[in-house]
Amino acid sequence: MTEKSSYPNVASIIALIGGILILLGGMLLTAVSAFVLPYLTYTDVNPPPDLLPSGIPHLVSGMVGVMGVFGLISGAMVLASAVMVRLRPDHRETWGILMLVFSLLSFISLGGFILGALLGIVGGIMTLRWRPPKLLGSNESETRQPDPIK
C-alpha cells in the first residue's frame, strides 16, 4: 500500500514543468517580436488603406509581443501556483484553479509549445483531485457523512 504525501507532489512537479515551458514560450515570442520581426520585409502583404507599408513590421511585432508578454504572465502564474501548492497545500483548491485558468489562457500565446499548457492543465486537475492523508488516530465514523433520511 502506498503512503500518501502531505502535499500533492506529482501534481506540483507536472505543473512546475508546464509553467516553465509556458514561460520559455513567452520569452521566445517576446524575443522574436523584439529582435526578428521588425527587420523582416513584408513585400507580399497588402496593408489596409489607413496603414503605411512601413508600419506593417511594427504592427506584427507589437501583436506577437503582446502574445509573448501574455505567455510570460501565464507562465509565471502557473509556476507560482505550482510552488505555492507545495508550500501551502491547505489552499490547494485556490492554486489548482489558478493553474487551470492560466494554463488555459496560455493557449493565446501558443501555450508553451502546447505541451506546457497541457501539463499545467493536468497538474491543476491533479491538484484539485488530491486529498490530504487521513490522520492515524481518526475513525471512519468521524469522516463519514451521515446517511440521508429515507
Looking at the domain assignment, is residue 118 inside a domain?
A: yes
Looking at the domain assignment, is residue 9 inside a domain?
A: no
Looking at the domain assignment, is residue 148 inside a domain?
A: no
Mean pLDDT, the chain, whole residue set: 87
Looking at the domain assignment, is residue 79 inside a domain?
A: yes
Which residues 6+ apart lie within 8 Å of 101 measured at CB?
none
- DSSP assignment of 92-118: HHHHHHHHHHHHHHGGGGTTTTTHHHH
Looking at the domain assignment, is residue 114 inside a domain?
A: yes
> Where in the sequence is the domain holding 114, given as residue range(s)?
15-39+57-131
- pLDDT, tens only, 39-52: 888 888 887 888 88
- pLDDT, tens only, 117-144: 999 999 999 999 988 877 666 555 555 5
Q: What percentage of the chain exceeds 70 in pLDDT?
A: 85
What's the confidence (pLDDT) of residue 146? 61
Number of domains in the chain: 1
Looking at the domain assignment, is residue 77 inside a domain?
A: yes
Among 7, 2, 1, 38, residue whose Cα is nearest residue 127: 7
* 122 close to 99: Cβ distance less than 8 angstroms: no
Looking at the domain assignment, is residue 147 inside a domain?
A: no
* Reported pTM: 0.82
What's the confidence (pLDDT) of residue 45? 80
Looking at the domain assignment, is residue 96 inside a domain?
A: yes
Among 27, 12, 35, 47, residue whose Cα is nearest residue 120: 12
User: From residue 18, how far is each of 23, 31, 36, 52, 71 by CA, in Å?
Assistant: 9, 20, 26, 40, 12
